[in-house]
Amino acid sequence: MNTKSVIVFVVATIVVLVGVVGLLWQFGGTTASTTKPIADVAGQMLHKQGDGPVVVTEFSDFQCPACQAVHEPLKQLLAKYSGKVTFVYRYFPLTNIHKNAMLSAQAAEAAGRQGKFWEMGDLLFSKQTEWEGIADPHATFIQYAASLGLDQAKFAADLDSSNVKDAVTTDLTAATKYNLQGTPTIFVNGVQTDFANLDAAITQAAK
């Protein structure tokens, strides 16, 4: 082997090694970035259902079409694992693309102050196309509150209150801290999981 061939061989070997190291680093980085401590991901669990050992946390946006699409299938899946799962909902309003995302989150939180968080969440998703394009959906959300039997005056006052806004912002800050890229983002015991793989992930975690 002449000198030129040796040089070519050495350079090629270095390129391959660099590529392998890069892939290993990328794989490791991806794994680390999608696994978080359960307590951090679930936060204060202000809105939770169930008391099972497997903690499923969803960061969601009421104006997000993808969140709306998985809402009912997710409820059915959680029902399948009743007694095994604690489900935690956290706000992640994508305000840069959904103009009413923040206020809809506040509406759910305000309803929660009267014990109707989950009912308002169901309503916001089922009527998403009705309110998503409204310039100011305050009146619409107050109508939803009335349909749920809530005290309208209290709901209207809570809707824009600092306490309600702070609750939403706390979750939004956490989502930003974790560098979440979109909604819905779901974690199973702190491990980020695609919805398509959620059933299998819960089954594995429940063993």
196 shares a domain with 176? yes
Residues 6 or more apart whose CB falls under 8 angstroms from that of 164 comprise 106, 109, 110, 113, 158
119 shares a domain with 131? yes
User: Domain with 118 in it: what CATH number?
Assistant: 3.40.30.10
110 shares a domain with 72? yes
Per residue of the chain (207 residues), give pLDDT as tens: 554 443 434 334 433 333 333 322 233 333 334 677 888 899 999 999 999 999 999 999 999 999 999 999 999 999 999 999 999 999 999 999 999 999 999 999 999 999 999 999 999 999 999 999 999 999 999 999 999 999 999 999 999 999 999 999 999 999 999 999 999 999 999 999 999 999 999 999 999
pLDDT at 36: 79
181 shares a domain with 118? yes
The residue range of the domain holding 26 is 1-34
75 shares a domain with 45? yes
56 DSSP β-pair partners: 87, 188
Q: What is the total count of domains within the chain?
A: 2
148 shares a domain with 47? yes
Q: Determine the Cα–Cα distance for residues 204 and 89; give it in Å rounded to an integer.
A: 21
pLDDT at 34: 63
Report the candidate in 172, 184, 170, 187 with the shortest Cα–Cα distance to residue 88.
187
Is 55:188 a contact under the CB 8 Å cutoff? yes
